[in-house]
Amino acid sequence: MKIAVNTRLLMPGKLDGIGWFTFETLRRMVKEHPEHTFYFIFDRKYDDEVIFSDNVVPVVLSPVTRHPVLWWFWFEFRIPRLLRKIGADLFLSTDGFISLRSDIPVVNVIHDINFEHRPKDLPLLTRAYYRYFYPKYARKADRLATVSEYSRRDIINSYDIDESKVDLVYNGASKGFTPVPQEQAQQVRTKYTGGAPYFIFVGSLHPRKNIKNLLRAFELFREEYKGSFKLVIVGKKFFLTKAMEEQLEQMNFKSDVIFTGRLESDELNDVMASAWALTFVPYFEGFGIPLVEAMNCDIPILASKVTSLPEIAGDAAIYAEPESPGSIRDGMIRIVREEGLRNELVLRGQKRRERYSWDNTARELWKTMEHALESNA
């Protein structure tokens, strides 16, 4: 069987949540199914690191998709032509975009539809594209997969999709995320915070991630708690970050906020595992991979009590209202001051993390692909 895969976000060194999903599932899938040929479709020069097996055929299909008009051209004209040329039996897309002009079975992974609920977090043309095409993509696909029950219900209800068509395929976390010895953790703290304990946030820096309120909460925390805590923010700037930057400038404790930019996996593990706690309080999240990474690193979690996050973290986190800096501050105070709470959350995370693995993700996604083929047999 010939399986064509949209791999335009499979770019080592630039992987975000969807990119990691693509990387980890495909890395396993192609090796577990050597009897099939996988055509990885890139929109730019690819890295040999992501050609995981001999049964992978890379294809570069121009133009580079950096604009909504180019998205439309690539998916509606370039992709269908290529699928016909290679005689593909199935098209898999892991980033929500498919071709409406494809005439073969299609599996589409839609991680979440945050743009339906928070459209102003995205530039005008981008959100207009998403809100016009995603309902069509959802209805066109033979089967859909998504990464949480929250997202599953959201897609079904928002787009009036038959629930039997939408499969739940949880994310995982890299096996590289593990606890570190105390001596190593102290070395990491010395490097990044001068030895001080710190809260950590990991993710792209755009409005949906609620960095502004996290910064305000940290300011309130530092005003109440006189210890030398820091806040480490890991991730690259995305867009519409003016409000975050203005909040930072207003802070009395802005020198205690450290922006690292994007970190490579090994360094990210060290920085995560050396933190006092993960503070992950976005307004909207389809899954929240940093939650599982924190569980794997044996650090406690403070999370938003909205969208998918309570589903994923369960009793391994304490929760805050993302709209309320005071609520986030209170969570920080609890994790620092309540005796035994930190260790209790870590122990709960050790139990809960077992349900999230990329091996399971790859197997469940493969089942979704088999169902799509069966329905077209």
In this prediction, residue 22 carries a pLDDT of 97
Is residue 40 within a helix (H) or strand (E), and if so which, with residue range? strand 37-42
Average pLDDT, the chain: 95
In this prediction, residue 377 carries a pLDDT of 67
pLDDT-derived band of residue 376, with 50, 70 and 90 as boundaries?
Answer: confident
pLDDT in tens, 61-92: 999 998 999 999 999 999 999 999 999 999 99
pLDDT in tens, 11-43: 988 888 899 999 999 999 999 999 999 999 999
Dihedral angle computed from the Cα positions of residues 197, 296, 173 and 138, in that order, rounded to the nearest 10 degrees: -90
* 0.75 surpassed by pTM: yes
In this prediction, residue 357 carries a pLDDT of 94
Task: State mean pLDDT over 199-224.
Answer: 94
Task: List strands edge to edge, sheet with 143-146.
Answer: 56-60, 37-42, 2-6, 90-93, 106-109, 143-146, 166-168
In this prediction, residue 240 carries a pLDDT of 54
In this prediction, residue 255 carries a pLDDT of 92
pLDDT-derived band of residue 264, with 50, 70 and 90 as boundaries?
Answer: confident
Rounded to whole angstroms, how far apart are CA atoms 133 and 168?
22
- Tokens of residue 172, six digits: 């995982």
pLDDT in tens, 121-168: 889 999 999 999 999 999 999 999 999 999 999 999 999 999 999 999
- Tokens of residue 373, six digits: 């083929």
Which domains are present in the chain?
Answer: 2-172+357-375 (3.40.50.2000), 182-355 (3.40.50.2000)
135 backbone dihedrals φ, ψ, rounded to 5°: -60, -40
pLDDT-derived band of residue 204, with 50, 70 and 90 as boundaries?
Answer: confident
Instruction: State whether residue 230 is helix, strand or coil.
Output: strand
Q: How many residues does the chain have?
A: 377
